[in-house]
Amino acid sequence: MTQLTRAAVDPTPRTDPPLRRVDLGEVPYLQAMEQMTIWAEERRTGLAEDRLFLLSHPPVITYGHRTPPSDLPQDLDIPTVEVDRGGYATYHGPGQLIGYLVVDVRQRGPVDIVRWVENSLIAALAELGFATVRRDTPKGAHSLVGVWTPEHHKLVSIGMRIRGGITTHGFALNIDPDLSVFDRFTACRLEDVTMTSLRRISETKGIPLPSEAVIRDTIARHFGATSE
């Protein structure tokens, strides 16, 4: 019989550090980016724990540095802001729930942070009655990171940055935004993408749309985030 050593089987389960939930209201995008720099530095220096910030933004289109100018809107009276996250162009505005994760990945063991975000959101949405999936990106294709309906309509955009082991940025969940804005530019470098929302899905499926408070609570719980 082979004797198992502690190195092979460690009976002590690894416990992730606590994740604190911070609820905010509508925050102008540039103000939130200034705050995010402070939040990241607080985490880097140990002045704050890992945190999940839940908020919304006034209308704005943000884009990563690799976004070609042709992807951006030419006829929208909405500010456009270049950002230091991964990904391409996307829209933020009323009716979305934004989640910014400022966490130290070095204290969470070997983890694919984007996969963790996708899976946490998928589990939360399932509890709310909405079936969703993640998609693998084929080699050579533009990124399919995010959360999608089984019909491959995009519900959640995800764009993150890791610098010095600290994550910034996060996800944008479409609850009930003005989806027509997405028709005026190329979202996420995906020319044929169909964006959707929980409102649209709920009307199509004939299921109730949860309140934003319930959505926030459910998402926070599946990330393991608490406000205590």
> Which residues form the catalytic set?
188
Q: Which two tokens stand for residue 125?
A: 């949405």
Give per-residue burial for 185-203: e unless 16+ CB within 10 Å, then b.
bbbbbbeebbbbbbebbbe
3-state helix, strand, coil in the chain (%, to 5): 30, 25, 45
Give the SS3 label for residue 163: strand
Q: How far apart are CA 80 and CA 62, in angstroms?
A: 6
Closest to 153 (Cα-Cα) out of 195, 111, 184, 113: 195
Closest to 167 (Cα-Cα) out of 88, 58, 69, 51: 51
- DSSP alpha helix (H) spans, the chain: 29-44, 113-127, 198-205, 212-223
Q: Which two tokens stand for residue 93?
A: 């505005």
The Cβ-side half-sphere exposure at 149, using a 13 Å CA radius, reads 18
